[in-house]
Amino acid sequence: MEALKEKLENPVELLSSALLSGDVEVVDLTHTLDPDFPVIVLPPEFGQCARFRMEEISAYDHRGPAWKWNTFTCSEHTGTHFDAPIHWISGRDLPNNTVDSIPPEHFVGPVVVIDCSEGSAQDDDFELTPEIIAAWEAEHGRIPAESWVFMRTDWSKRHGAAYLNMRDDGPHSPGPTPEAVRFLIEKRNIRGFGTETVGTDAGQGAHYTPPYPAHFYLHGAGKYGLQCMCNLDQLPATGAMILCAPLKIKNGTGSPLRVLALVPKGGR
């Protein structure tokens, strides 16, 4: 009897039971690591983001009779990936700024989702502004401290050239304004910011002051980034939680990872 009581009071046991019963559902926010998935494109004179590549080592054959395995290579910033503060020059001197030194509890936590899908459908350069955040809070309440904020744009449903949406003047995709990022950091003390686009910044983010404000402010404040996510349309505005542990790479600036969300049943 005592044991049962303990079990019911153990929050992890409760979560496990909820997962088993389906009261809590798991949503995968991760794109498959695919050689042809777009990566950020920089001018040719700069170093480039390595694409995901896979070479077979053996497949139950003369190279290894009973086993199959591959060698894969990619950038720390290929596919659905995590940005650590050291990724940006503004965060280079912070303590615990690499994927291997970030406290593990930071990889598990609450998430709120700001739906910008309608605006993004109409405007490739749609901006997340403080006004939109204010309107969201008026409906859903104040963004809790230490929570992740995801900008839903449904951009992950785009394929091929429409994803980067590259033109002669650079890529065009939605993102936050400098003011919006500063608000989330300075007034709400969020843990990180996540997007469906190739980066946390807008496609034209280089033309803000400062350039790439999401990267500059987030990482300068020791916050994290998640990008190239999908299925954000399956998350509730509030009440979900994510698990987003990057690979433990020594001095790593980021890592491809599996981002999973725990969502209360019917909360999608």
Residues of this chain that interact with another protein (CB under 8 A) are 35-36, 38, 41, 44-45, 47-48, 51, 53-56, 159-161, 163-164, 166-167
Smaller CB distance to another protein: residue 44 or 65?
Answer: 44
Q: How far apart are alpha carbons 127 and 209 in whole angstroms?
A: 14
Q: How far apart are alpha carbons 148 and 108 in whole angstroms?
A: 10
| Amino acid at residue number 252 | G
Closest approach, Cβ 38 to another protein, in A, equals 4
Name 81's Cβ contacts closer than 8 Å, sequence gap at least 6: 226, 227, 228, 246, 254, 255, 256, 257
Smaller CB distance to another protein: residue 25 or 125?
Answer: 125
Smaller CB distance to another protein: residue 27 or 198?
Answer: 198
Closest approach, Cβ 143 to another protein, in A, equals 33
Helix (H) or strand (E) holding 69: strand 64-73
Q: How far apart are alpha carbons 26 and 16 in whole angstroms?
A: 12
Closest approach, Cβ 35 to another protein, in A, equals 4
Per the CB < 8 A criterion, the answer to whether 202 and 152 are in contact is no
Smaller CB distance to another protein: residue 78 or 147?
Answer: 78
Question: What is the residue-wise DSSP string for 85-97?
Answer: GGGSGGGTTSTT-
| Amino acid at residue number 141 | G
| Among 87, 140, 159, 172, the one annotated catalytic | 87
Q: How far apart are alpha carbons 115 and 127 in whole angstroms?
A: 12
140 catalytic, yes or no?
no
Angle at 132 between CA 266 and CA 196, to 5 degrees: 60
| Amino acid at residue number 63 | R
Closest approach, Cβ 32 to another protein, in A, equals 13
Closest approach, Cβ 23 to another protein, in A, equals 39
Nearest CA among 84, 77, 99 for reference residue 250 = 99
Smaller CB distance to another protein: residue 9 or 36?
Answer: 36
Residues labelled catalytic? 87
